[in-house]
Amino acid sequence: MDKWVVSTYVLLCLFFYMYWRRKSPGLEAFIKLGWVLCLPVAGFIVLFYEYRHKEGREFEVQLPFFDSQADSRGDIYRNVNLVKEMNVIPVEEALLINDTETKRKILIDALKDDAIQYMHILEQAVRNEDTETSHYAATAVVEIKRRLTLALQEFAVKYEENRRDLELLQPYAVVLKQFLQSGFLDERTKKKYEHTYVQILGHILEQYQGEEHYFKEKFRMELQLGELDAATATCFSFERAFPLHEDVHLLYIELYFVMRNKQQLLAAVDKLKKLPFRLSNHALHQIRLWTQEV
């Protein structure tokens, strides 16, 4: 019975994934899939809440900054949108607010958006003097770790059964990345999963090269692992797939900087400058940065 429920839920997730991919191609669909797989049922609730929240913002009525009647009486009242004001406060500063109710709400609302992103904040919140905030954070940490671990185990089993299934490999890569960013792993275990992540990205790129972020993810992980030959090969593959993409040349610059190959680095910078289109501000900044560092 349990296997039937799990299978049905996974099929439902894949159905929604195909729908999301049509509506918002790229990484966003994979992130949503990661949410619903890591947080069964709750993931859909969070995504629904986010959808309603965005929808509500589109129809938000902008009230005047000053109340005209109050101003005529000599009293000026600021119109404060409480939700917007809370969004202005960095989550890191929420833990320093004296008002425990406000602090708790800011923290919880932020974590509803992306709990993985705020793992370091959760760790701080666990040690917070407010008992309820601390309890919520501790519970969230345990639950996130449990969900990620279960999802990772399930993907690992299915991966061993079929290493060529692109519909499996793509969400598996998302969960692996979330796990690596979670802060749950010691250095030895993290290194193991980094190699697995590179392997999964490699399998994806063998079948699908339509999105540049897979190349960039693989390259940066290989660079982090010190696998310079593999990183070089990834750059070559990226260039073949996207010959006029400025990020290709930015990766070459980064690679040759790490290798301390000044001649190749300057050649890559020159090649970037000669691309037949206007470079982005980011690319121009990177050219100045890497040139100064050599």
Distance separating alpha carbons of residues 206 and 202, to the nearest angstrom: 6
Which amino acid is it at 134?
A: S
Res. 46 pLDDT band, cuts 50 70 90: low
CB-CB contact of 103 with 133 (8 Å): yes
Residue pLDDT, tens place only, 173-209: 999 998 898 878 889 999 999 999 999 999 999 999 9
Between 99 and 239, residue with greater pLDDT: 239
Residue 77 pLDDT > 50: no
Quick count: other Cβ atoms within 10 Å of Cβ 254?
19
Residue 40's pLDDT band (boundaries 50, 70, 90)?
confident
Contact, 247 vs 220, CB < 8 A? no
Give how far Cα 192 sits from Cα of 108, 197, 213, Å: 32, 9, 22
For the entire predicted model, the pTM comes to 0.61
Q: What is the pLDDT of residue 143?
A: 77
Query: 93-144, pLDDT tens digit by residue?
Result: 555 555 666 666 666 665 555 566 666 666 666 676 667 767 777 777 777 7
| Torsion angle of C-alpha atoms 288, 289, 291, 294, degrees rounded to 10 | 170
> Is-contact 54 63, C-beta < 8 A?
no
- Compute CA 21 distance to the chain's CA centroid, rounded to the nearest angstrom: 16
- Whole-number Å distance between alpha carbons of 32 and 50: 11
Burial class (CB in 10 A: 0-12, 13-18, 19+), 284: middle
Amino acid identity of residue 97, one-letter, is I
